[in-house]
Amino acid sequence: PHIIGLSQHAAHGTSLFAVATTGIAGALGYSGQNVDYEAALSIALCGMVSARAGALATSKMSEVALRRALGVFMLSVAPLVPAKQYLIPTTTTEKSAAAVSDDENEQAKTRTSASSPHKEERTWMQRYVIPAGIGSGSGFLAGLFGVGGGAVVVPALSLFTEMSHYKALGTSLCAMVLPAMAGTATHFSKGNVAMNVAPFLASGAFVGAYFGGKLARTIQEDRLKYGFSALMLVLGLRALK
């Protein structure tokens, strides 16, 4: 926020303005097998409600408290994605996903399903309840901190579902479009969106997210996980300075 002269509150609201365009472009970049649209819809619907509450909570916090809370949040999130392999037993399919491209991974899943005709389908809780819970939490945090799905939804999907990191990224981008819009509307009503900056930020974010999504599909899954963690760590430390 200091580089372009925004207050901490305006930085959060303006950032959320760009998150919606980032989600649209990123979802296009990951389109197809890399987005679980059913989970994305559950996350989005619940996130729309809680994003407004998060945006309202922002206005009640001081700039110092808001910045420190953001730093602590990012540092807490940083280790979650790579930690899954140590916290939860890794399946054979997940191990292969880390070593092959997304297309190859989907083919591997198809072969696995064909060889296991009695494999149970996802339960109602896995399909709707878990994504709805993730949406409620991620929406509130998105509204509060102005962050997208990468900081909240990706770690949650990685920990609590069987999605590969590729699919978690694509699903999170798609899911956070509507919550970001809802949170932005609330921030705008509070005067926390810098319209002299937001359109340019959103335009750049759209282009970057689209090509970033295309590029991510060519990178090994483990590298993406540790790259995500490193980014959260750096941003968290900067926020605490």
The average pLDDT across 54-83 equals 85
pLDDT in the model for residue 21: 85
pLDDT tens string 144-159 = 887 776 678 888 888 8
pLDDT in the model for residue 119: 41
Q: In this prediction, what percent of the chain has a pLDDT beyond 70?
A: 81
Comparing CA positions, the residue from 57, 8, 5 lying closest to residue 240 is: 8
pLDDT in the model for residue 101: 47
pLDDT band at 84 (very low <50, low <70, confident <90, very high): low
Tokens at 5, concatenated: 């002269």
Whether 82 contacts 229, CB under 8 Å:
yes
pLDDT band at 99 (very low <50, low <70, confident <90, very high): very low
pLDDT tens string 111-143 = 444 444 444 477 878 788 999 999 999 889 888
pLDDT in the model for residue 136: 92
pLDDT in the model for residue 114: 44
Mean pLDDT estimate for the chain: 79
pLDDT in the model for residue 91: 45
pLDDT tens string 177-190 = 888 888 888 889 88
pLDDT in the model for residue 89: 53
Distance from C-alpha of 135 to C-alpha of 68, rounded to nearest angstrom: 23
The per-residue b/e assignment along 68-93, b for 16 or more CB within 10 angstroms, e otherwise, is ebbbebbbebbebbbebeeeeeeeee
Tell me, rounded to whole angstroms, the distance of Cα 29 from its chain centroid.
14
